[in-house]
Structure 1
């Protein structure tokens, strides 16, 4: 599976949006796979939750919402290995107080570089195609997004 992911990472370089999401149920090995890729290519995995919470904690509450996108770009620039950014633990991006769209933010990062991120939610098949979901429908952080602009990498248990 690691070699298949590495091949996919190499294949997306010429695309306009270079975002690969590792998608699978909890405990299927998404974090282990992205860590294995990092080790294989000599890169590191950005623990986005830790880094962005550290940066946001320095800002007044009113500024956090306005600066989250800018902070994410700065963190990405600092942690990217060349034109590749490996990202895990993105759950904080779903916090409703930030009022951002996590998937759109990742897509914007993927215009400048290849991005491989662990998707913390699920996917579902429907009449409109495959959808990415995060949290239950009744939960305030619930998201239901299209796969448009994303290269999915499914992991089975």
Structure 2
């Protein structure tokens, strides 16, 4: 599977949006696959929840929504290597208090570099979702502007 992902990472270089989402159920190996890619490409995996969470702790809660996108940009700029950004544990981006559009944020990052991210939701009928309908953090998106990489 890592060979297939590496080929895809090379193939997306010429696309306008260079976003690949690793999609699979919990414990399907998304994190392990990112770790393999990290080792092969000498690019660190950014644990968004841990890194962005640490940064946000220093910001008053009433201002976090104003600074989250900029803090994320700074973190990704530090983590990207050779035009490649690997992201895991992105659930914090869905926190309603941060007022972010997680998929849009990932797509914006993918204009400047290749972004490979583990998606914490599912893909059904060409629709991405995060959390169940009715959950406060529920999101539903089309898959335009990204390349889904399904792990079974």
User: Residue 50 of structure 2 corresponds to which residue in structure 1?
Assistant: 50
User: Residue 143 of structure 2 corresponds to which residue in structure 1?
Assistant: 147
User: How far, CA to CA, are the matches of 2:28 and 2:35 in structure 1?
Assistant: 13
Is the partner of 2:37 in helix, strand or coil? helix
User: Residue 66 of structure 2 corresponds to which residue in structure 1?
Assistant: 66
Deviations 1:80-110 (A, max 9, x none): 1120000000000000111111000000000
**How much does 1:75 deviate?**
0.4
User: Residue 40 of structure 1 corresponds to which residue in structure 2?
Assistant: 40
Give the 4+ runs in structure 1 shifted more than 3 A. Answer: none
Q: Please report the TM-score for the alignment, with normalisation by the length of structure 2.
A: 0.98
User: How far, CA to CA, are the matches of 1:24 and 1:61 in structure 2?
Assistant: 33
Q: How does 1:77-88 map to 2 (within 5 A)?
A: 77-88=77-88
In structure 2, the gaps of 5 or more residues are: none
User: How far, CA to CA, are the matches of 1:107 and 1:96 in structure 2?
Assistant: 19
User: How far, CA to CA, are the matches of 2:84 and 2:40 in structure 1?
Assistant: 13
In structure 1, the gaps of 5 or more residues are: none
Q: Please report the TM-score for the alignment, with normalisation by the length of structure 1.
A: 0.95
User: How far, CA to CA, are the matches of 1:7 and 1:107 in structure 2?
Assistant: 20
- Count of aligned positions: 152
**How much does 1:37 deviate?**
0.7
**How much does 1:13 deviate?**
0.6
User: How far, CA to CA, are the matches of 1:55 and 1:146 in structure 2?
Assistant: 30
* Superposed CA RMSD: 0.7
User: Residue 129 of structure 2 corresponds to which residue in structure 1?
Assistant: 133
